[in-house]
Structure 1
Amino acid sequence: MSPQEIQAKVGETIATSEWVEIGQDRIDKFADATGDHQFIHVNPDMAKMTPFGGTIAHGFLTLSMIPYLGANSDMPQIDGVKMGINYGGNKTRFINPVRSGKRIRGIWKLVEMVEKRPGQWQQTAEITIEIEGEEKPALICEWITQIFV
């Protein structure tokens, strides 16, 4: 699709990812990568004593899954993309923890698609990360991507 065709989809849901499991091994590796070894993430015995009943993924782990979920979704492909870069977020809310072993998926709603200069587009999407079988999502964020064509 051309950037202009994507632009015509503002206000629409443009992608849904596959479900992916967030297992303890992934949580432990994220803890090692970030140095965040809080017991609620990495110690199943201590985490059992919390209201969550077990370990939970780091909120930032869930947020960091956005590129993977996007790559494993039905996201429309923009013709002639040379590169895309994360530009930042307008807001992020961690609503519901992802318990170890649960599956998540992403839903993208296009908020804005603006040509900033010739060949450089800025896409803003509201991304909801759902947790399979749960009413409340893990997070909702408004994320901005720069796309160069």
Structure 2
Amino acid sequence: MIVIDAAEDPGKHNGAEAVSEWQLLSQQRVTDFADASDDRNPLHVDPDFARTTPYGSTIAHGYYFMATAPSVLETLWQFTGFSFAVAYGVDRIRFPAALPTGTRFRLRLQIIAAEPIPGGVQVRTNLIFEGERIESPVCVAESLYRAYR
């Protein structure tokens, strides 16, 4: 657990890394995301269709990983001495590999830079979602978060 405390120099966390527990990507989670996002591409929700593609099965939506980031990040870091924290944006996001349903994934959090801003701290991160037994990451995002006193 990375603890970013308002009373400490945030730069001491530059280069810090934390890795989440594995989570299973079920077809139900993919279908629920498809329903919530209105993205019902058959590659994600139709197992019969997906079997005919090079992937061989349904796969996660790329943005599914960004949607799960807040809940997974809660297990990897904590802001203390701040009133609240927000996602500030994403500078770059890529989906180098597909994650088939029935596969486990985890999040590797890397802190690139944590620096003071007026009223708080800004943290630039690499969010690297890894699939079990998949060589390339399934999602890599350079994301910004801010915490305010």
Normalised by the length of structure 2, the TM-score is 0.91
Residues 70-92 of structure 1 show CA distances to partners (whole Å, capped at 9, x for unaligned) of 1233x2x2322211111101101
Aligned to 1:109: 110
Identity across matched positions, percent: 29
Aligned to 1:9: 13
What is the one-letter code of the residue matched to 2:12?
A
2:1 is aligned with 1:25: no
What is the one-letter code of the residue matched to 1:108?
L
Runs of 4+ in 1 over 6 A off after TM superposition: none
Report 1:1-149 matches (<5 A).
1=3, 2-3=5-6, 4-13=8-17, 15-73=18-76, 75=77, 77-117=78-118, 119-149=119-149
Residues 13-71 of structure 1 show CA distances to partners (whole Å, capped at 9, x for unaligned) of 2x211111111001001111111101000000010000000100100112211112112
Shift of 1:7: 2.0
Q: Determine helix, strand or coil for the equivalent of 1:78.
A: strand
Number of aligned positions between the proteins: 145
Q: Determine helix, strand or coil for the equivalent of 1:98.
A: coil
Unaligned residue ranges in structure 1 (runs of 5+):
none
Q: What value does the CA root-mean-square deviation take over the aligned residues?
A: 1.4
What is the one-letter code of the residue matched to 2:72?
L
C-alpha contact 2:10 2:121 (8 A) present in aligned 1: no
C-alpha contact 2:79 2:85 (8 A) present in aligned 1: no
**Residues of 2 paired with 1:97 and 1:148: CA distance?**
36
**Residues of 1 paired with 2:90 and 2:27: CA distance?**
27
**Residues of 2 paired with 1:22 and 1:124: CA distance?**
27
**Residues of 2 paired with 1:59 and 1:121: CA distance?**
28
**Residues of 2 paired with 1:69 and 1:107: CA distance?**
10
**Residues of 1 paired with 2:20 and 2:82: CA distance?**
20
Unaligned residue ranges in structure 2 (runs of 5+):
none
**Residues of 2 paired with 1:71 and 1:103: CA distance?**
19
